[in-house]
Structure 1
Amino acid sequence: MRTSALREQRHPTLTPAAIGRAATLALHDELSLTPKPGLVTLIDRGSHDDMDAHTFMRSLFSLRRYFVQIAEAGLAGAEFDVLERFGIAAEARMRAATGGINTHRGAIFMLGLLCAAAGAVLREQDEAPRPADLQRALRRRWGDALAQRSQRTSTLPGGIAARRHGLRSASEEAALAFPVLFEAALPALSTALARGLTPQQARLDALFHIMAVLEDSNLAHRGGLAGLRFAQRTAQAFLDRGGVARPGGLQEAHAIAGEFVARRLSPGGAADTLAAACWITRVCGGS
């Protein structure tokens, strides 16, 4: 009896409300991290003149109900067009909260899909999902629809940049069930935590791992292909030198952040992917 109660306490049954709350917390995990190269933090604007932490907090609060709602849709077995309608409505609420500024469009898409996938997993099992369960649910439930969506001609800045430079777009990344998230970001975050890094250090380390491999269309939009490759090389070199855990690593990360601001680069896709990894560690029982 005691063993059963303990197991239940460690792996409580998830609900759509808990899934959605984890998404809101994960977005705050990402916002509160510093130094983030070119990205908005609680203390600076990064490479952005039109937004700051207050803008992000207004956006974040406007999305709280959306993440719960889309998890409920996944639990109910909703088709992709239903999820897409929820996402469009969420973006409208975000823009109303921010005065038209795009703070979380990528997260609405990525974290929304993941919340729906977690809801879909709840239909089949009571225990906390594993990352592989989430990926399978994405492929099984909405893989075909996401593949079709990835063939649309995007009119958004990131999609236009991806097409211009022959990069894998955010839609194509989703159609593949987010390989960078599951194969790079999450292992990097988990490994860093297992090595004894603090949650902040681990998230920063994971962010650089993501930047090193992601074809981030936000970077390509702001800095062209040269800007994207500069960001990838810089991130990989930082990791090759030992990353945030080495002596002087945090100071170097601050210096890199300054370089990104000077070049007006902002790895928004990497930020969304980091938030998604933080969400998975919460939903799947990580720290």
Structure 2
Amino acid sequence: MTISLRWQSRAGRELHAEQIGDLASLCLKLEVATHPKPGLVSQIDNGAHSDMDAELLCRSADTLTAFFRELAVAGAEGAGMSRLRAIGVAAERAMLAATAGVNTHRGAIFGLGLLCAAAGFRSALGLRKSLGDVVSQRWGDDILSGPISLRSHGAVAARRYGAGGARAEAADGFPSVYDIALPALRAARTRAPDDEEAVRIQTCMTLIANVADTNLLHRGGPEGLRFAQASASAFLAAGGVGFAEWRARAVDIHHAFVARNLSPGGSADLLAMALFVERLER
């Protein structure tokens, strides 16, 4: 497929790709800097994770910056899925080397990485499509037909329980980002206009309540997923971050997740992706 690029120089592509990569890494760090998120790592505690903390997650995010930039350049140059996948594999190796083998951001490498590539592609061609549409239309078929990771807990849970998982989410243009997370971000700002952390917590709770998170399925099976969704739904039904004592209630839910060893890592990735998309599409 021949593509006519708007940018005339590689230097121009790399400059914009640097901004895209930096933003992707920042959004991963914003997710970490959010507390309380049920079962998830923050600067306050490690949630349901015994093998990672906020410092490790931020180190991982810094390590991935260069690869997010590379994915944006590849997208701008019209790369196919095979090239994007190769960059993703290299990113995962670098992540594991930086974290002594801990899987901090495998899901984010896939989802956020595709959005970085889409941002580069969209800018190069001057398109007005959403990033999700770019991913679905340009790489969707190859995402579904590509090799399946046998190491990913989320992928194993998706196969075991018949959930769509990250591949289906990406191939469909990230409906959980566009139909759930972004509306939640906008609505939360009317409830907490001066508290961006509260906005992120409300959005995370909305994702947990509405997404079949394969990380929850891996850790708790269908019962764990139902518990997580019911807990988040009850928080939202009580007013979410608009409720006067919302933070104490969110902390209680967080502790309940930790007690059950539940961690909605897929929702955490989707939150970071939504923050990224919002800033590029605002």
* TM-score, L = length of structure 2: 0.91
Is the 2:91–2:109 contact (alpha carbons within 8 Å) kept by the matching residues of 1?
Answer: yes
SS of the residue corresponding to residue 123 of structure 1 reads helix
Show the counterpart of 2:5.
none
Deviation at 1:60, TM superposition (A): 1.2
How far the C-alpha of 1:225 sits from its partner, in A, is 0.9
**Higher mean C-alpha deviation, range 221-230 or range 163-172:** 163-172
Looking at structure 2, the residues matched to 206 and 234 of structure 1 have their Cα atoms a distance apart, in angstroms, of: 14
Percent identity of paired positions between Structure 1 and Structure 2: 45
CA shift for structure 1 position 147: 2.2
Alignment of 1:8-87 (within 5 A): 15-87=16-88
The answer to whether the 8 A contact 1:20-1:68 is kept is yes
**C-alpha displacement of 1:194:** 4.2
Give the distance between the partners of 1:199 and 1:161, measured in 2 at CA. 32
Whether 1:185 and 2:185 are equivalent positions in the alignment is no
Matched, 1:161 2:157: yes
2:231 to 234, 239, 250: 234
Q: In structure 2, how many angstroms separate the alpha carbons of the residues matched to 1:92 and 1:207?
A: 28
C-alpha deviation, 1:157, in angstroms: 1.7
Q: How many residue pairs end up in the alignment?
A: 268
Task: Map 1:104-253 to 2 at 5 A.
Answer: 104-125=105-126, 132-149=129-146, 152=148, 154-195=150-191, 196=193, 198-253=195-250
Distance 1:214 1:197 in 2: 27
What is the CA distance between 1:154 and its match in structure 2?
A: 4.0
**Residues in 1 aligned to 2:35 and 2:149: alpha-carbon distance in whole angstroms:** 35
Unaligned segments of structure 1, at least 5 residues: 1-12
Amino acid at match of 1:207: C
* Larger mean Cα displacement after TM superposition, 155-164 or 69-78: 155-164
Query: Is 2:118–2:131's contact at 8 Å kept on the other side of the alignment?
Result: yes
Cα contact 1:22–1:283 (8 A) shared by 2: no
Tell me, yes or no, if structure 1 residue 255 matches structure 2 residue 252: yes
Could you tell me whether the CA contact under 8 Å between 1:215 and 1:228 is conserved in 2? yes
In the TM superposition, residue 152 of structure 1 has moved relative to its aligned partner by: 3.8
SS of residue matched to 2:79? coil
**Per-residue deviation, 1:251:** 0.8
CA RMSD in angstroms comes to: 1.7
- C-alpha distance in structure 1 between counterparts of 2:152 and 2:32, whole Å: 23
